[in-house]
A and B are shown apart, each in its own frame.
Chain A
Amino acid sequence: MNLTLKVWRQNGPADSGRMVTYQVTDVSPDMSFLEMLDVLNERLILEGEDPVAFDHDCREGICGMCGMVINGVAHGEQRATTTCQLHMRHFEDGATVTIEPWRAAPFPVVKDLVVDRSSFDRIIQAGGFISVPAGSAPDAHSVPVKKDDADSAFDAATCIGCGACVAACPNGSASLFTAAKITHLGLLPQGQPERDSRVVAMVDQMDLEGFGGCTNTGECTAVCPKGISLDAIAQMNRDYLKAAK
């Protein structure tokens, strides 16, 4: 198949950036989206042009490194899928595909489709952990955990930190990401001692980084490759109100 790509090119944080159109031919439907971009880049390199910079690593949907807004949808229209797992069989021959980086002030563009997501790390630094020095842990069976709680904690913990939620949210809010961690740790008995301080610190950090507030539009969960549910945000709100009292 043949495609017309409109790709955001930006030569660095200071550059103002622009959309550039490329034609790609002979795309196989079995290719992943990133493999399609690889093909484009190989060609650009040989033509002496600057290849399109994009983040990626595992290419199996788990590291959270990849991510672009494809035709206006974070990670593309295929549900519950990261960009690296999106395959070209979901596109039509001759289609025009628009590719843009995540857009949010706390995710400044580094180059082309690469953005800086270190704000997420700082949200975790604020409290997204359980303090336990190596070697100080009690036997793993000393604290049983209800299976349902363990399963729900796991569901929240599967967040890969990709940032699609922020990219999709009309408010540029990081609520889903932040709430996923708060929910994961808050549901486990091990997470109780720091539960209150964690939620306050993480929500504050989220604000300080310049993310928007959530107005429950639900766009985030719809694009989230791991299907993190809005329940997480409700949980965060509940914990926050309780802790901030």
Chain B
Amino acid sequence: MTSTIDRGAATAVVTPRTSPPRSSKRPGARHGRRHGFLRSSNGKKAVMAVSGAVLVLFLIGHMIGNAKLFLGRDTFNSYAEWLRTVGEPALPARTVLTLTEIVLAAAVVLHMWAAVSLARRAAKARPVKYAAKRKSQAGGYVVRTMRYGGVIIVLFVVWHLLDLTFGVVNPKGFAATPYDRVIAGFDPSRWWVTAFYVVALIMIGLHLRHGLWSAFQTLGLAGGRSRHLLNAGAAVLAAVLVLGFLAVPIAVTIGAVK
């Protein structure tokens, strides 16, 4: 029952262990091995923040663009036209718009990829749930809507594109001008579309309420007092975006814009 281990100068008899020592490191848990930016939780977070920021910038532009609707059919249509022809003749038609669309698509894909992979990591990190309802200590309502809120937003965008971009579900179809599509899409008879937009935009608002300052935090740009400012700023910007966007469908539905 004894074995001998050699220790050079001294030799000692030891009783072998019956079980392997609990090693101080887990298998695979080797430090010092860089495993890449995109595979690290911090890297994924950064991707989420940057892609989210791109989407936010788009939203701001989009909202301002939408507001031109109040300036009348021609202004709005020529704005839509301009979007497609900007840069001409130096650039072929739709270059800028296509580029924007590519960036947007990429942002959405990256954003979703990061969100999904972080959510899966989180699920693995807590395989057993608490029996008592875990009470949020940080006022986390908004925060907890991030994931399913995101899904609702995607569904909304799909609908929205089918409706106003491709005209598939729009009464006026693809052939009509953008202005007409909007007026037709939010026709009072289609109040449920407007209602769906309202719900979706509230989700977007909540998403941004958290997402806006969260992105700063993720990128390490929040700290101390600036966190409180950012937090307040996020609330304001989220509210402005929601109200700004909703102005159009509501105005159409109640007949203020025809």
Contact = CB atoms under 8 A, between A and B. Distances in A.
Interface residues of A, number: 60
Which of B125, B130, B214, B221 has the most C-beta atoms of chain A within 10 angstroms of its own C-beta?
B125
Contacts of A231: 222-224, 227
Interface in A203-245: 203-219, 221-223, 230-231, 233-241, 244
A45 B14 CA distance: 37
A122 B132 CA distance: 30
A168 interface: yes
Given A217-B138, A238-B221, A170 B122 contact: yes
B128 interface: yes
Nearest to B213: A216
A118 interface: yes
B41 A105 contact: no
Interface in A47-106: 69, 71-73, 77, 98, 100, 103-106
B222 A122 contact: no
Contacts of B223: 231, 234-235
A212 B131 contact: no
Chain B interface, >50% SS class: loop
B133 A72 contact: yes
A106 B46 CA distance: 24
Contact of B124 (A6, A100, A105, A200): A105
Interface residues of B, number: 54
Given A122-B29, A218-B138, A230-B227, A241 B219 contact: yes
Nearest to B211: A216
B31 A204 contact: yes
A101 B41 CA distance: 25
Contacts of B221: 234, 238
B131 A244 contact: no
Given A210-B125, A230-B227, 15 more contacts: A69-B132, A71-B132, A72-B133, A72-B135, A100-B132, A105-B124, A170-B126, A170-B144, A171-B121, A211-B41, A213-B42, A213-B121, A219-B140, A236-B42, A244-B43
Interface of A: 6, 8, 19, 69, 71-73, 77, 98, 100, 103-106, 118-119, 121-122, 125-127, 168, 170-173, 200-201, 203-219, 221-223, 230-231, 233-241, 244
Task: Give 3 closest A-B pairs by Cβ, nearest first.
Answer: A238-B220, A172-B125, A213-B41
